[in-house]
Amino acid sequence: CLSDWSSDVCSSDLIGREWQETPLLVFAIAGFVAAAFINRAGRSNWAGRTAFLVVLLSAILLVFQAHDGFRSHSMLVFPGLLLISVMMLDRASYVTTAGIVVVAVAALGIAVKHGLTRATPPVRTTYDSMFYVDLNLLVIAIIGSRIARDTQSNVFDLRASVERLSVANLELSKAAAALLLDN
């Protein structure tokens, strides 16, 4: 199955004549396959972390290779990664993930500004634009943290309710069994 995905990636790059991204996309596919195997082995937390790191590294490398640098469409992966993380992770993991994303975006902006990427001059990335992008991601991260906290709180409340209902159901079952024995 991996060979089918690899051949699709390679054939699309052949058609588009974009050879630079082929190894990166094949690496991403291999990372996702590894995450799937880890998940299949029953380690879903590690599978999620692996998938997150694969997407983060792929996005960083795509922006690093882009000729438009910090203004690349690949930058859209970072808010998407925050959105997916808030739905899939607990609060502590989400806060860690959000921090990594914000720092990665800031580092990419600085790298583009100082000419360390393949961005073609003139680079129009300013410290103001980097600040506003990171500020927007930070606002998304804070809102996501609140959502993750509320979701985690709801799960704890639901588990407590299920536990109380289980105890009540057990008591009712015992009372019903006692009534049946008396009759």
Integer Cα distance of 53 and 117 in angstroms: 21
Q: Tokens 């979701």 label which residue?
A: 151
Say what the pLDDT of residue 1 is. 46
Integer Cα distance of 162 and 88 in angstroms: 22
pLDDT exceeds cutoff 50 at 142: yes
List alpha helices for 2-126, DSSP H: 2-16, 22-40, 44-65, 77-88, 91-113
What would the pLDDT profile of 59-114 be if each residue is shown by its tens digit? 888 888 888 877 778 888 899 898 888 887 778 888 899 999 999 999 988 888 88
How long is the chain?
A: 183
Say what the pLDDT of residue 18 is. 61
pLDDT band at 54 (very low <50, low <70, confident <90, very high): very high
